Amino acid sequence: MTTGLVILGATGSIGTQTFDVARQLDLPVLAMAARSGSEQLYRLAGSWPEARVAIAHPTDDEQERFTASYGSRVGFGPEAVLELAAIDRSTVMNGIVGSVGLSASVTALEAGNRLGLANKESLVAGGPVVLAAQMKTGAEIIPVDSEHSAIFQCLRGERIEDVRRLILTASGGPFRGRAIEDLAQVEPEDALAHPTWVMGRRISVDSATLVNKGLEVIEAHFLFGVPFDKIDVVVHPQSIVHSLVEFVDGSSKAHVGEPDMRVPIQYAITFPERAVGSLSPFSLAGKELSFFEPDRATFPALDLAYEAGRTGSSAPAVFNAADEIAVEAFLNGRLPFLGIVDLIERTLSKIPTVELSTVQDVLAIDAEARAMATQLLSGAC
Ligand code: MG
């Protein structure tokens, strides 16, 4: 196993659960990073006195406070975050939200570190670049997203050419079963009330629109090297089946358990081994599992994501960047819920597709897409 963990996005949902797993496994946390110097990060830094700390965008006050308390083990700025991702022989858990996580993923892989990938934007926006970095050093990418961890585990011992379909399950989000006209007036609080998973704000809105599932389809394509026509989505409200793989002989394997992110987080750390986890024994008895086709008319984001994925090159990066802007605007009350997908679609139609070969290329297209989405947004409001 690893010498220790580097937890990027330490105060987010994945980050805090990774600390739980570190305690469970009695593993050292070598380093932690967050966007800002929040009280939560301050306390985490205090509880892990050996760990290095990086704050990507601290205020002057935060910088002073952290330096006064923790001295030289704290670094500041995005470069300080990347330094942590390169710590020798560590397992880097990338729980950064958004496309800013890409550089960290590439840095970890180039340093030959195992990457526990919870930042789906890394592969969605920068798939070709991330895979090229991985090829250089042969470093491992172990998915942390529950669906991809499920598929990764179902594929163990199998040949990828024997796969007929990858089937990602989707909870359907808080608006499953609703008609499109009911969705015009929904508020951020409604979208943030996810039925089964405890998650961050952006991903909660993304599951309400099914954008999240669309991003996961694209992520699965890059992670497992499977074409889009062999990747399917099925709605499964209970989130007990975390995803499935169907094989050419008609067999299917499913990964089943309580919806708890500590399971895929722990597996990404212990793979190829397993270790005793903190969950109580699981029982299927008394559970009702149901499955439905996704409502592609009410939630058009799913098909739009397939389309961006098939277009390839920079289209998925544009899809993702426009969504980040749209979700932010929705949460701030500047865009109605149904405007999210609309803004993504209009941004995609405005930006020509280009090839991506470096992180810089990805960041440039990401910035261009954000600027375009922001411009379209101000025109629309
Ligand atoms: Mg997921």
> Considering the chain, what percentage of its residues have pLDDT values greater than 70?
98
Check residue 381 and give its pLDDT. 43
Q: Give me ligand 1 centre to Cα 46, in Å.
A: 31
pLDDT band at 41 (very low <50, low <70, confident <90, very high): very high
Distance 300 CA to ligand 1 centre (A): 18
Condensed to tens digits (0 to 9), the pLDDT of residues 329-360 reads 999 999 999 999 999 999 999 999 999 999 99
Q: How far is the CA of 120 from the centre of ligand 1 (A)?
A: 9
The pair of structure tokens assigned to 241 is 């089946």
Residue 23 has pLDDT above 90, yes or no: yes
C-alpha 207 to ligand 1 mean position (Å): 9
Global pTM?
0.94
Of 300, 281, 311, 310, give the one whose Cα is nearest residue 344.
300
259's tokens: 């919806």
Centroid of ligand 1 to alpha carbon of 309 (angstroms):
17
Q: Cα separation of 325 and 202, whole Å?
A: 10
- Cα(210)–Cα(176) distance, integer angstroms: 10
**Burial class, 257, CB count within 10 angstroms (exposed 0-12 / middle 13-18 / buried 19+):** middle
Task: Locate the DSSP E strands across 40-80.
Answer: 52-55, 74-76
Distance CA 263, CA 4 (A): 18
**Mean pLDDT score of the chain:** 95
CA of 91 to the centre of ligand 1 (A): 21
